[in-house]
Structure 1
Amino acid sequence: MQWSWHPVQLSFYVATIATVIAFLLAILSAFWIIRKDRKGKAIIETVFFLPLVLPPTVVGFFLIMIFGTNSWIGQFIEDIAGKSILFTSTAAIIAAIVVAFPLIYQSIKTGFLAVDKDIVGAAKVDGAGDWTALIKVILPLSYRSLTTGAVLGFTRGFGEFGATLMFAGNIPGKTQTIPTAIYLAIETGETTLAWYYVLISIGLSFLLLLIINRMKPND
């Protein structure tokens, strides 16, 4: 096994696309949840947070069951795209979305709930609808939580391993990300190579978490 920039580039690509998609889904989900007293809210949010506590292999198993060629979703995608998404970079992105979403959702929801309801109410008195209030009032006032959620989601997606290994595989030059490259390097006794990827991962995670901490308001 030789050093390659591909796992680094793919990890950035996967984490970036996954964060954008999970971020948008989290905004919509959090806004939908907090707007009214939803029936079954506890059950819905429990489902949202399951990827945080389930073993990665279980998450990977469910992704294979949902998007595999034996499911109607997998069959539909294969008919449209002409091939299965298993063992592709798309599979890595889906796995990263699933594991990043809970962190982003929780951060965004916390930010939304922290917005003064009187301010939102005043905007609605002035004629703003729910979506206008979200875009012009709630999102701007929640920017710290939005940023924190995006950074945590990116970091989580960047470091995703278990579900990615099962769902996307570990194909060098195709689906191999930094975590799976580290796994293969250790398996083949390439400790020095593993260290290179480990240091890149630690450096990026440290930098992103430092940004979050510097954004916190002073006590």
Structure 2
Amino acid sequence: MSAAAPAHGRLPGWVYVPAALAAALVLLPLAGLLSRVDWPALPVLLTTDTALDALGLSIRTAGMSTALCVLLGVPLAFVLARSSFPGLALLRALVLLPLVLPPVVGGLALLYAFGRNGLLGEVLELGGLRIGFTTAAVVMAQAFVSLPFLVLSLEGALRLEHRRYELVAASLGASPSVVLRRISLPLVFPALVSGAILAFARSLGEFGATLTFAGSYQGTTRTLPLEIYLQREVDPDIAVALSLLLVLVALVGVLLTASRQLRGRR
């Protein structure tokens, strides 16, 4: 009787110990948050005037910032993935910089660029256009921190996707615009949707850049994370309830992204 063939691809047992610690590092804080939720009063806490104002503003601005990310990020991802010119690596690094940059630093950068006394802000003020500490500033702050998520997701898909269909279409006389619209975009559409979902979730949770560049004015710039920060000292129960809402929205976004990626692999 021959010996059983050795199993391939098995992990050493010790790997599960740090893996469990890593999972606990993420899950235990969430469990702590859930333990502080006043479940019977949750509907009331989520329907206060300030909470509804913050929630409505967050959804509107996150939607607009996601649309802005798609409008600007898709062409940028194609340039980064399909072009070759001096300084391309530096451009890619700068585009992805908000991923590692502290949000408050990003807010300061936006303020010094588009604020009243900023690099472009003075010119915009002369034209009667004010951005700093307005709802437009919220959208720009959210787009600043969310754009790299969409670009990174789409650029990765473009690099993995084989270009034979694009080359065949071009050899048959299709113009670059037709190839982009009819071939390239449909091929990477799942990655585009995943990137847009991640950008929306990141925009919804943006705090530091928004506070620095847009301030905190109810109904104008006070988004859900800012409302949570203010309610933390005034009414912790409302802060916990709103935090739970953000966690649920982020979880839905991550699950949708993961499910689309799984379907794409299949």
TM-score, normalised via structure 1 length: 0.93
Corresponding residue number in structure 1 for 2:87: 40
Asked if structure 1 preserves the Cα contact closer than 8 Å seen for 2:169 and 2:179, the reply is yes
Structure 2 equivalent of residue 200 of structure 1: 245
Counterpart-to-counterpart distance in 1, 2:187 and 2:124: 39
Q: CA deviation at 1:60?
A: 0.8
Deviations 1:172-197 (A, max 9, x none): 22211000000001133x11110221
2:158 is aligned with what amino acid? F
Listed one character per residue, the Cα deviations across residues 51-76 of structure 1 (whole Å, up to 9, x for unaligned) are: 11111121111111001122351122
Structure 2 Cα separation of the partners of residues 33 and 165 of structure 1: 31
Deviation at 1:2, TM superposition (A): 6.2
Query: What corresponds to 1:27 in structure 2?
Result: 74
| Residue-pair matches, total | 217
- Once the two structures are superposed, residues 20-46 of structure 1 have per-residue CA deviations (whole angstroms, 9 ceiling, x without a partner) of 111121111111222332211110011
Measure the CA separation in 2 of the matches of 1:172 and 1:34: 41
Q: What is the alpha-carbon distance in structure 2 between the residues aligned to residue 115 and residue 123 of structure 1? A: 15
- SS, match of residue 51 in structure 2: coil
Q: Tell me, in whole angstroms, the C-alpha distance in 1 between the residues paired with 2:149 and 2:237.
A: 32
In 2, the alpha carbon distance for the partners of 1:30 and 1:70 equals 32
Of all paired residues, the percent bearing the same amino acid is 32
Correspondence for 2:228 = 182
CA distance in 2, matches of 1:147, 1:201: 20
Whole-Å Cα distance in 2 between the matches of residues 4 and 151 of structure 1? 23
8 Å CA contact 2:110, 2:213 repeated in 1: yes
Paired position in structure 2 for 1:111: 157
Letter of the 2:156 counterpart: T
* Whole-angstrom CA distance in 2 between matches of 1:193 and 1:207: 21
Give the TM-score of the pair, scaled to structure 2: 0.77
Residue identity opposite 1:199 in structure 2: L
Q: Secondary structure at the match of 1:4?
A: helix
Q: 2:139 aligns with which of 89, 93, 103?
A: 93
Q: C-alpha root-mean-square deviation of aligned residues, in Å?
A: 1.6
- Where do 5+ consecutive residues of structure 1 fail to align? none
Q: Secondary structure of the residue that 1:173 maps to in structure 2?
A: coil
Asked if structure 2 preserves the Cα contact closer than 8 Å seen for 1:115 and 1:138, the reply is: no
C-alpha separation in 2, matches of 1:90 and 1:123: 41
Structure having the higher Rg: 2
Deviation at 1:143, TM superposition (A): 1.4
Deviation per residue, 1:97-140 (Å, 9 max, x gap): 10000000000111222222111100101111222211110110
Q: Aligned equivalents of 1:123 and 1:179: distance in 2?
A: 47
